[in-house]
Amino acid sequence: MVKQDIKIVGGKAKNLFVLKNNNINVPPFFVIETSVFEQFLKEKINKLDELLKKCKNENDIEKKANEIQELILTQSFDELLKKNIFQNINKISKGNENILFSVRSSAVDED
């Protein structure tokens, strides 16, 4: 098995890979790498930088938070990313439409 880099997958995913690679029984999972998120924000990064540069203190950031959130939430997912996510979900669910999933996020420097 490939050694997973925490900077690529985040701490939670890295630990899942460690468990799996040590033959510990873990539920099926897939990981969306940090590069995907970076690509997702690529088109909006200049606008985000522009908004953040206007912030001089914490109050300014709070005022701009809604604009920043809106900018991120209105960004569309790439079609290939959507296809890959659905393929992984279908692989794990094996046709079971009632299967439940857990979605976890991890900043690469939080774990």
pLDDT tens digits for range 8-50? 888 888 888 899 999 999 988 888 888 888 888 777 788 888 8
**Contact in structure between 36 and 81 (CB atoms under 8 Å):** yes
What does the pLDDT look like over 52-68, one tens digit per residue? 888 888 888 888 888 88
**Contact in structure between 105 and 6 (CB atoms under 8 Å):** no
